[in-house]
Amino acid sequence: MRNFIAFIWLVYFSWRALHGIGNLSFVRASVFRPWRAQGALASALCVLCGCGTEVAQTATAGPRAEFDCSTPGANDLPENAVFGDGSEPASPLVGEGYAASEGPGLFVAARDAFRVYLNGELVAASSAARSPLFVPLTLLPGDNALSVVIQAKSGTPAAWLQLDELEQSYGSDANWKVSTAPARGYADASFDDSAWSHATDYGARQSALPGCESAMQFPTVVDARWIGPAPGLGSVAVLRKVVRIAAIGYGAGTTGGFGVAPVVVSSWADLQAAVSGSDAPAVVLLAEGDHDYRDTPRAQAVCPSTCANDASKPQYTVLVGSQTCAAALVNQNRTAHTLLVGSNKTLVGLGRGAQLRGLNIELGSSHNVILRNLAVYDVNAKLTEAGDAFGLVKPSQVWLDHSTTKWISDGFTDLGAGTRGVTVSWLHYDGVTSDECDGEHTRAVTATESELTLHHCFFDHVESHAPRVDGATTRVHLFDNLISDDLSYGVASSCGAEVLMEGNTFQRVAIPTERSSCTDGTALGSISAPPGSNFYGDDVGAHRGGDGQEPHDAVFTPPYAYTVEPPQSAWLTVLARAGAGGPWALPLARD
């Protein structure tokens, strides 16, 4: 009986390969891809001979539906209440100033014509068949619904899309949803598309389907596919995909001002008014490029000294608390502004990132704050103890993502006692500086009595504090970070703090981990590095605070889901994508 059934399949596949009855694409594929017909025949023979199913599955992979680019033409897009008419508000997230592959954005080509919406706002439109288009585009934290109206002059409409975002790229595939009769509101992020069909996969762009070759100029970052509705369902359809950008870790659930219409600001006064003084939700956008927020120079009394390794190099320290100075105080100019961010705020730099010069960002006791795609630099850099890049005094539910810090007076990111629910991800802590005695920034990240998830961050030439944590209630989870070129210690835990390290890479670090007690000699800090999880280069020194070996203390279990990548590959991704602008980071410069 089994052989008889296999024989029937053999006859069926052979007949289809020769005649294409019921599926014209099978004939087309057999012309342009001879292996397709051969594969079907081989699959049937393999079944007849008792082979495994893996060969049959592999042989039938690839386009399986009708698709032909050879006969489309310019086409007027539909204009009605459902599919839109092109008069919808243009999205403020569409940028300018850079070309394809020079920054984040959307590549799109359609067989005939298309119109693209992002959360209901118009992003792009074209009635030029197969004419590739690149749209500089920024996505915001939260749900980003891309809706693509496609219309064919004849036959089946289809499109090819690739979305390049700071963290990763997304390609069109059969996981996109499609409908030829969508309900109104489908372009909204909250729309339920669970009843929609999955898009039909018509093949890879690289496969040179007949007449589709004009899209070959697009980059190949992901395996994007030509997709559309199934054949015969109509000449107009909507493709839809939701890209969710959200924090993982302790900061999960942070929404900022999501749901509020974004506003673009530029001046110091407008920025301050938009994020300070109120807890009302707000999404605030800063244009790509440099924003000089330095204040009028004002005198600051400081303690002068010189570097031990270079007496000709002066250092100036702002005295804190009961500190005293062995020399007479002198005045130095202080120029940084402090931006106090209120609760329920999202502050995002557009495109390749907003460069904020001379701006110290503080969160105080704010709740529910997102800061993304910002480069904070030159904050009183010639002074010490004169302002952090990101100062988290005692906030809760905070997400710092894809940002850069450089030439900062004090800490890159400081978490004060009582700070809870914080995720710091994809930050580039750039510590290369001529202002410090050893050419490296000395204070990257500190956390006291805090909760912090820190992942995919690049500690680049920071002398220490990568991070340093203390306090019995401190729980810090580090995974998939790169700590490189550190003259002193990397991760330090003291006074009862607990640190879990997974998937991190250490390169050229003198002391990868350090455990110490409180000043009174009690409560040693704990660090757990699961065996084989972290990677240490040959130029990494011994661990400190124990027997010189990797620490495996008993610590907390993270109360959230996450995935750790192998450090040997994760550090390359961090190197390429951490920081404001991700792979397209703009250079920072000062006078």
Domain ranges of the chain: 2-59, 105-245, 249-295+335-581, 297-333
Superfamily (CATH H level) for 249-295+335-581? Single-stranded right-handed beta-helix, Pectin lyase-like (2.160.20.10)
Tell me, what's the pLDDT at 75? 74
Residue entry with tokens 């934290």 = 141
Tell me, what's the pLDDT at 188? 95
Distance CA 203, CA 461 (A): 46
The dihedral over CA atoms of 495, 500, 505, 506, expressed in degrees to the nearest 10, equals: 20
Assigned token pair, 26: 């099978």
Distance CA 456, CA 429 (A): 11
Helix orientation angle between 2-19 and 24-32, rounded to the nearest 10 degrees? 80
Listed in sequence order, the DSSP H helices in 20-99 are: 24-32, 34-49, 53-59
Distance CA 544, CA 486 (A): 15
Residue 21 amino acid letter: I
Which 8-state DSSP code applies to residue 215? G
The string of DSSP letters for 79-133 reads: -BTTTB-S-SPBPTTB--S--TTSSSEEEEEESSEEEEEETTEEEEEE-STT--E
Distance CA 149, CA 88 (A): 13
Tell me, what's the pLDDT at 455? 98
Pairing mode, if any, of strands 475-479 and 498-502?
Answer: parallel
Residue 16 amino acid letter: R
The dihedral over CA atoms of 304, 309, 312, 315, expressed in degrees to the nearest 10, equals: -20
CATH of domain 105-245: 2.60.120
pLDDT tens over the chain, length 591 residues:
434 333 333 333 343 333 333 332 222 222 222 222 333 333 333 322 333 323 222 333 344 455 677 666 667 888 898 999 888 999 999 998 899 999 999 999 898 899 999 999 999 999 888 888 999 999 999 999 999 999 988 888 999 999 999 999 999 999 999 999 999 999 999 999 999 999 999 888 766 566 676 655 677 778 899 999 999 898 999 999 999 999 999 999 999 999 999 999 999 999 999 999 889 999 999 999 999 999 999 999 999 999 998 999 999 999 998 999 999 999 999 999 999 999 999 999 999 999 999 999 999 999 999 999 999 999 999 999 999 999 999 999 999 999 999 999 999 999 999 999 999 999 999 999 999 999 999 989 999 999 999 999 999 999 999 999 999 999 999 999 999 999 999 999 999 999 999 999 999 999 999 999 998 888 999 999 999 999 999 899 999 998 999 999 999 999 999 999 999 999 999 999 999 999 999 999 998
Pairing mode, if any, of strands 404-408 and 374-379?
Answer: parallel
Tell me, what's the pLDDT at 513? 98
The dihedral over CA atoms of 505, 103, 146, 374, expressed in degrees to the nearest 10, equals: 60
217 CB neighbour count, 10 Å cutoff:
11
- % helix / strand / coil in the chain, to the nearest 5? 15, 40, 50
181 CB neighbour count, 10 Å cutoff:
11
Surface-to-core class of residue 286, CB atoms within 10 Å of its CB (0-12 exposed, 13-18 middle, 19+ buried) = buried
Helix orientation angle between 34-49 and 2-19, rounded to the nearest 10 degrees? 170
Tell me, what's the pLDDT at 103? 96
Alpha-carbon distances, residue 469 vs 34, 386, 452 (angstroms): 63, 21, 10
Helix, strand, or coil here: 32? Answer: helix
How far from the centroid of its chain's Cα atoms is residue 267's Cα? 27
Tell me, what's the pLDDT at 470? 97
Is-cis flag, bond preceding 467, omega within 30?
A: yes
Helix, strand, or coil here: 572? Answer: helix
Tell me, what's the pLDDT at 591? 83
